[in-house]
């Protein structure tokens, strides 16, 4: 497993887009939608990180020969 720098840029891009959408929605008086956008963005990034952590643990298992 090689570390993919693209994933870091994807997470940063999602963060920037979510922050912009949150700001615009909050300025329009749609605080509820702004919070939902932030929550959904957080969940998307959380799943991306969980996938990367799973790959890391799988690589660690393979390195130490704990293959299942």
| Three-class DSSP category at 66 | coil
| pTM, 2 dp | 0.78
Close Cβ partners of 48 (under 8 Å, ≥ 6 residues apart): 7, 10, 11
Dihedral-angle region of residue 32 (phi above 0 means left; psi in -120 to 50 means alpha; beta otherwise): alpha
Measured between alpha carbons, how far is 26 from 55 in angstroms, rounded to an integer? Answer: 37
User: For residue 43, what are the domain limits?
Assistant: 5-65
pLDDT digit string, tens, across residues 27-62: 999 999 999 999 999 999 999 999 999 988 888 888
Q: How many domains does the chain have?
A: 1
Whether the per-residue pLDDT at 1 is higher than 60: the answer is no
């Amino acid at each position: 497993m090689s570390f993919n720098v693209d994933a870091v840029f994807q997470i940063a891009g999602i963060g920037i887009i979510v922050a912009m959408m949150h700001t615009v929605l909050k300025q329009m008086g749609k605080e509820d939608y702004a919070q939902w956008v932030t929550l959904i963005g957080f969940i998307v990034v959380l799943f991306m990180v969980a996938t990367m952590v799973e790959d890391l643990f799988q690589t660690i298992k393979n390195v130490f020969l704990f293959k299942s």
